[in-house]
Amino acid sequence: MYESTRGNLSGQRASQAITLGMVPSGGLFVPSTVPTLNWQDLQGLTYRDVAMRVLTPYLPDFSEAVLSKIVNVYADGTFDGPNPVPLVSVGNFGVLELWHGPTAAFKDMALQVLPDLLKVSLKLFNRDEDVLILVATSGDTGKAALEGFKNREGMHIVVFYPEGGVSPVQERQMTTTEGANTHVVAVNGNFDECQTAVKRIFASKALKEQLQEKDLIFSSANSINWGRLLPQIVYYFWAYLQAVEQGKVTPGGKMNVVVPTGNFGNLQAAYYAKRMGLPIGRIICASNKNNVLVDFFATGVYQSQRDFFQTISPSMDILISSNFERFLYEMSGRNGDQIQIWYDANNQGTFTVDPVTLKQCQDTVYAGWADEEETLETISRSYKTYQYVFDPHTAVAMKVYEDYLSATNDQTFTVIASTASPFKFASNVLIGLEGKKQESWGDEWKALDYLSQVTGWKIPIGLQGLDKKPAKPADTSEPEGIMELLQKMFT
């Protein structure tokens, strides 16, 4: 069963949690008990079968046959290569490449199964309405969600992205999506403003009723939806199995993970994997210059009212880290009343936790951050040392890992979650590698070819020929105008 992080709802089935996306009266769905799973029992299985084992205890209302079909996406060629999520040995650590899906970012890991999870959930929840998916994106979720949901019967998707806040490749990926049921909107604001506007829409009774008349209900493909977070737990088990197989970790020995973090979904998935019994040691949270979480872990004060920085790792440019609420729920001893107080709208994203909760947080997660200069320097230095090319998000993680090593000298085998292909951010990667300005290789599209030339790495299929594909220009809106725009589109 699932319950709310704010103590205002409990006893909900998985299908209800996935259909609703978030708790209607505020809060996020979390499993009431975290199942345990013995990693030894997964040895020798394929990724698809590991996914089946991890997902099953969380989805008791899904039949085995249905679930088995859903996880097939990990075995049917949707993910490149013989191993959908390779653990690559770099130096004496591992890089878990989560970007071999259709859009070259880790969001595919979940968004290739979410539409099916949602479709089945609707049926199990006895809803026969069409569903309207609203997505706020800092860049990568948008395209991955569009790919997952395009041309799905009974589903419509609208993606909102911050105008000027995503990379040219990310923008082009979104506006070139085919599918009659897809809409893309550029919002005049930053990602937090986008996300807050979308959350307001979810909370709007009036719009909900107007849509209900058209037989439409809302859901979310953001990582606030449990169906988004759940599939991400799988790859931490997969990383461990590979680390054991490669002889990097003795069976049962600990493995650390470093997660480049924005909305805290990926990190929260690592936390659940640990809770399920996977021998994870330290979970290391890596932020960019928007280091609200690093300050929190140092002081216990979550202060989201601060300057927002647009960085070269745009998918981490987030100050209101949604899934952190799930983390705090666990760290506070599942104290829903307390979470309700901290997340009260009047606090506007600023609160201070008690010393006991803070200690619990600090014992579970180490947090660090890297600025842009350090990120570029890390891309260049890592390439020279290891001939491995990090995208700017993963480079932030790499730098924080190095800082962690010098601070602790912890020699535990460590896996860096690599969240995007470097080609998704080719210009900035080249600025790191070559130390030159963009003009020396031309526009963003030439940058992809040039990066391929310089490194000998192949451009992922999903990013090839993007500049030649026909694009459907995005609608534009002020954050306050989103409601009206949706009314125009759907009522």
The catalytic residues are 107
Q: Does 428 bind ligand PLP (CB under 6 A)?
A: no
| Residues 236-265 contacting ligand PLP, CB under 6 A | 260-265
Beta strands (DSSP E) in 188-328 are 216-220, 255-260, 280-287, 301-303
Nearer to ligand PLP, 140 or 248 (CB): 140
Nearest to 283 by CA among 318, 242, 255, 302: 255
Nearer to ligand PLP, 22 or 207 (CB): 22
Nearest to 286 by CA among 325, 313, 254, 249: 313
Task: Give the residue, chosen from 6, 100, 107, 399, that forms a contact with ligand PLP under the rule CB under 6 A.
Answer: 107
Nearer to ligand PLP, 152 or 228 (CB): 228
Whether 277 and 36 have beta carbons less than 8 Å apart is answered as: yes
Task: Give the residue, chosen from 105, 339, 353, 429, that forms a contact with ligand PLP under the rule CB under 6 A.
Answer: 105
User: Distance (Å, rounded) from C-alpha 315 to C-alpha 140?
Assistant: 7
Nearest-approach distance from CB 475 to ligand PLP, in angstroms: 23
Nearer to ligand PLP, 137 or 338 (CB): 137
Nearer to ligand PLP, 18 or 122 (CB): 18
Nearer to ligand PLP, 12 or 261 (CB): 261
Cα of first residue to Cα of last residue in the chain, in angstroms, is 34
Q: Does 393 bind ligand PLP (CB under 6 A)?
A: yes
Q: Does 12 bind ligand PLP (CB under 6 A)?
A: no
Nearest-approach distance from CB 420 to ligand PLP, in angstroms: 4
Question: How far is residue 415 from each of residues 332, 356, 471, measured CA to CA in Å?
Answer: 27, 29, 38
Nearer to ligand PLP, 12 or 263 (CB): 263
Beta bridge partners of 183: 158
User: Distance (Å, rounded) from C-alpha 167 to C-alpha 444?
Assistant: 9
Nearest-approach distance from CB 450 to ligand PLP, in angstroms: 21
User: Distance (Å, rounded) from C-alpha 58 to C-alpha 374?
Assistant: 40
Q: How many CB atoms are located within 10 Å of the residue 114 CB? A: 28
User: Distance (Å, rounded) from C-alpha 372 to C-alpha 312?
Assistant: 7
| Residues 45-104 contacting ligand PLP, CB under 6 A | none
Q: Which two tokens stand for residue 3?
A: 């319950």
Nearest-approach distance from CB 101 to ligand PLP, in angstroms: 11
User: Distance (Å, rounded) from C-alpha 30 to C-alpha 12?
Assistant: 10
Q: Does 419 bind ligand PLP (CB under 6 A)?
A: yes
| Residues 276-315 contacting ligand PLP, CB under 6 A | 315
Q: Under DSSP, is residue 253 helix (H, G, I), strand (E, B) or coil?
A: coil
Nearest-approach distance from CB 376 to ligand PLP, in angstroms: 16
User: Distance (Å, rounded) from C-alpha 330 to C-alpha 323?
Assistant: 11
Q: Does 266 bind ligand PLP (CB under 6 A)?
A: yes
Task: Give the residue, chosen from 3, 140, 330, 372, that forms a contact with ligand PLP under the rule CB under 6 A.
Answer: 140
Strands across the sheet containing 87-90: 87-90, 93-97, 414-418, 255-260, 280-287, 365-369
User: Distance (Å, rounded) from C-alpha 215 to C-alpha 491?
Assistant: 10
Task: Give the residue, chosen from 194, 243, 316, 426, that forms a contact with ligand PLP under the rule CB under 6 A.
Answer: 316
Nearest-approach distance from CB 312 to ligand PLP, in angstroms: 11
Task: Give the residue, chosen from 223, 287, 332, 338, that forms a contact with ligand PLP under the rule CB under 6 A.
Answer: 223
Q: Which residues of 2-14 are buried (b: 16+ CB within 10 A; e: fewer)?
A: bbbbbbbbeebbb
Nearest-approach distance from CB 222 to ligand PLP, in angstroms: 9
**Binding residues for ligand PLP (CB under 6 A):** 105, 107, 140, 223, 260-267, 315-316, 393, 419-420
